Amino acid sequence: MRDRAVPEVLVFDHTGTPEAGTQVPAGGVKSGEGLEEAVLREVAEETGLLRATVVRQIAVEDKPHPDTGQPRRTSFFFLQAPADTSGAWDRHVHRDGDDAGLTFACRFLPLPLKQPLADDQDTWLGYIDPRWTTVTGDSQ
């Protein structure tokens, strides 16, 4: 998220793969890596944003993976990006792994969103107070 006239959330689309839908940065946790370390790494890898900071974890969700149907646990984090972060940019991934060679079209969208995100990734956005000081609701 970044703090502007209204709260904005960072999203991206996979360039050339519109069926993937609009998403927030996400990914897995490497062996020996903490959750906060993993979320910052994934944001940096997928968006190039290096100045985000973790505010807090807002939810943990258990549901089947949308492609494989296998059990999946997802932890959602509230991160803050500096207000002066660019509003839109493209990120070409040069590293090894699943995202190598992909280009992500990154942008901030004002809340509330006009369209849902892929895989219901926007479910927990309503649990973040617009003033970014509290999380409301039961997050477990």
Confidence of residue 93 (pLDDT cuts 50, 70, 90): confident
- What is the C-alpha to C-alpha distance for residues 102 and 29, in angstroms, rounded to an integer? 20
For residue range 14-38, what is the model confidence (pLDDT) as tens digits? 998 889 899 999 988 999 999 999 9
Place of tokens 């993937």: 20
* 140 domain residue, yes or no: no
- Least confident residue range of 36-40, 41-45, 106-110, 125-129: 125-129
Q: Of all residues in the chain, what percent carry a pLDDT higher than 70?
A: 89
Tokens for 139, please give them.
């997050």
Report if residue 24 sits inside a domain.
yes
Look at residue 138 and tell me whether its pLDDT is greater than 70.
Answer: no
Closest CA to 48 of 113, 110, 112, 93: 93
Can you give the residue range of the structural domain that contains 29? 2-55+81-119
Mean pLDDT for the chain overall: 86
Asked if residue 129 belongs to a domain, the reply is no
Does residue 88 sit within a domain?
yes
What is the distance between the alpha carbons of residues 61 and 88, in angstroms, rounded to a whole number? 29
In this predicted structure, the answer to whether residue 49 has a pLDDT above a threshold of 50 is: yes
**Rounded-to-integer distance, Cα 58 and Cα 9, Å:** 15
Q: Count the domains in the chain.
A: 1
pLDDT at 101 over 90: no
Residue 44 lies in a domain: yes
Residue carrying the six token digits 């703090």: 3
- With tokens 């839908």, the residue in question is 21
The whole-model pTM stands at 0.85
Phi/psi for 127 (5° steps) reads -90, 0
User: What pLDDT, on the 0 to 100 scale, is given for residue 21?
Assistant: 93
Report which of residues 107 and 97 the model is more confident about: 107
User: Is residue 64 situated within a structural domain?
Assistant: no
Whether 14 is in a domain gets the answer: yes
Q: What's residue 135's pLDDT?
A: 40
Q: Would residue 101 count as lying in a domain?
A: yes
